Amino acid sequence: MRAPGRAHRLLGALLSTAVGFALLTVVATPVSAEPSFYDPPSPLPPGQPGDVIRSEPSEFFLDPVKLVRAPAQVQRIMYRSTDTHGDPIAVTGTVLTPDVPWRGTGERPIVGYAPGTQGVGDNCAPSKALAAGLEYEGPSIAGMLTRGFAVVVTDYEGLGTPGMHTYVNRAAEGHAVLDALRAAQRLPEADLPDSGPLGISGYSQGGGASAAAAELAPEYAPELDIKGAYAGAVPADLAKVAVNLDGHYAAGFLGYSLLSLDYAYPELNIPDLLNDEGKRLLAEVENQCTPEAITAHAFTRSADLTKDGRPLAAYLNEEPYASRVAEQRIGERKPDVPVLVVHSALDDIVPYAQGRQMAREWCAQGATVQFSTSLVPSHIGGAIRAYPEALAWLEGRFAGKPAPDNCGWF
């Protein structure tokens, strides 16, 4: 791999700035987009997962003033996918075809980019944030484009489209990522290979979606030629993540999780557990993107939100909640593709130990895993530190180099 040059130092600075901007901005500016684009036809037209329902030209800016365009041709898409229970749904996303030619071996690869936490409201959809220059992962995506990778960014279930976003829901997110890759291959306007090499990349919520997609691919999308998946700071065990977030500055993310569980499993009747304050929090986070949810609900204790005064973690050992949360565990299914897992031991949002345990479980099943520990403080610092390693690792997979494996050494 070439040594990082000026462009890569600039990319790193842009990434750091964008992440900071995402955390400090309180309200994201709504994007001007055709409202009807996000409304699926009813009923959905017949088809298969990954079929494109509609598409239109879009934009991708790296700054909110819209001075810097990303180096790509941009298409907004709506495509078929499947939800938690295997029912067909419509999901939106963005397909990015680089302006630069592919100089690697073989056909141009496509990376399925799984975004990190955006929020659950429709205005939080990554496709809208990319067009507005407000997507904090925009510089990371742009870095892949400069290397000649095509990229498809899913909005996941319920972001932009009707219904609730199924935040950190293993099956729904894994399906959305895999079907986005199928859609990018099938979109004529993108001019991309219809059966070429593929990769998956994601951090935090996106790391969970990437890891879930790698696990699901052998059964759900066996025809895809996936060369490898990068999964950073994976929330592999939501029960442990929930304990860590209680009273945390990112406590608002618990609200996202409760809304997701209630939508995917309405029989749980989550609101019935909550007091008036808890119901108020759910009503607020339903329309708050990540920066606003962090600001509005920092250090909230879940014991102050329940009718009986118990913390939410107390319910996770009881049925029917325990089994539904257990369904979201990642690590119990073997990925057939090589996986890079990067996690900071000093991560302050997603506990390091549960991410390492996931990687160990994959190793025990015979998967090819490279587990990389960093010592960068904070969840956000871990993302910035992991990006160059992930980019180099993906380049190696697309170049056909043997995937590294350190199972038994971590």
Give the burial class of 225: count Cβ atoms within 10 A of its Cβ; 0-12 exposed, 13-18 middle, 19 or more buried.
middle
Laid out side by side, the sheet with 369-374 consists of 52-57, 72-82, 88-98, 150-154, 110-114, 198-203, 226-232, 339-344, 369-374
Helix spans in 56-168 (H):
126-132, 138-146
Residues of the chain with CATH 3.40.50.1820: 21-237+334-398
Residue with tokens 């909005």: 155
Pick the CATH number of 21-237+334-398 from 3.40.50.620, 3.20.20.140, 3.40.50.1860, 3.40.50.1820: 3.40.50.1820
Residues of the chain with CATH 1.10.260.130: 238-326
pLDDT band at 302 (very low <50, low <70, confident <90, very high): very high
Residue 277 has pLDDT above 80, yes or no: yes
Q: Mean pLDDT score of the chain, rounded to an integer?
A: 92
Q: Which pLDDT tens digit goes with each residue over 120-162? A: 999 999 999 999 999 999 999 999 999 999 999 999 999 999 9
Q: Which pLDDT tens digit goes with each residue over 56-95? A: 999 999 999 999 999 999 999 999 999 999 999 999 999 9
The phi, psi pair for 384, rounded to 5°, reads -65, -40
Question: Class of 238-326 per CATH?
Answer: mainly alpha
Q: Which pLDDT tens digit goes with each residue over 94-120? A: 999 999 999 999 999 999 999 999 999
The phi, psi pair for 299, rounded to 5°, reads 70, 20
Q: Which pLDDT tens digit goes with each residue over 16-51? A: 333 433 333 333 434 444 457 999 999 999 999 999
Mean pLDDT of 356-367: 98
Please indicate, yes or no, whether the overall pTM of this predicted structure exceeds 0.85.
Answer: yes
Query: So what's the pLDDT on residue 35?
Result: 55
